Amino acid sequence: MSKTETLYGVHAVQAVLKSQPERVLSLMVLQGRSDQRVQKLLGVARQNGIAIEEASRKKMDALAADANHQGIIALARPGQQYDEHYLHELLENLDEPAFLLVLDGVTDPHNLGACMRSADAAGVHAVIAPKDNSAGLNPTARKVACGAAEVVPFIPVTNLARALEKLKERGVWVKGAAGEAEDTVYSADLTGPLALVMGAEGSGLRRLTRETCDGLVKIPMVGTVSSLNVSVATGVFLFEAMRQRM
């Protein structure tokens, strides 16, 4: 495992400075950037004794692999690594029905980041994904997540179907998103302990994942487009579940 992580973008850096400032080793800021948002971050960094370096755009672009770093980059110790043992501890200690998001083979870090952002906004307790053939929380995913990756546990699992079976044994209902489902997201009961499973971009849920689900639900579509981007669909499902649960 890498000894450091590179976090870039105002929201991602702001989130780690707010929730875990002890992780941040140093900040790099674009030369001449003096707007209030960045100055506020630099003030928090100074309060926590974090080293600050002014750097050229060329140097920062190279460090962020030409991604949009918004003129702020943090070098940080890796955050907490979560596993299935943590997931079951989390479920044991919840004082409300579990609300989990499961991503079955989402490989685009932009989609992962957007799903993490929606998960945080909707009150999801954890995001679960297979270790293999899935996007991980790289700097791109963390930036798109706008800080959600620093507060919502992301839990990679070795065998997704087995992990879902264990959730079912704990009384969690597993609902999968699939275009051919009969129930719509608006007619399905999304209250109670719930794990919502979203499939990969294009191919959807894998066969074994689909067979493990307690039921399938769909978003009703009236236009000519046959499917939505996975992060958009995830937002629709999560916020309808949140509406019902409120």
- Between vectors from CA 154 to CA 152 and to CA 156, what angle results, nearest 5°? 170
**How far is Cα 145 from Cα 112, in angstroms, rounded to an integer?**
8
Tell me whether residue 219 is annotated as binding.
yes
**How far is Cα 189 from Cα 194, in angstroms, rounded to an integer?**
10
**By three-state DSSP, how is residue 20 classified?**
coil
Tell me whether residue 73 is annotated as binding.
no
Burial class (CB in 10 A: 0-12, 13-18, 19+), 95: exposed
The answer to whether the beta carbons of residues 6 and 73 sit under 8 Å apart is yes
- Per the annotation, binding residues for S-adenosyl-L-methionine are 199, 219, 228
- Per the annotation, binding residues are 199, 219, 228
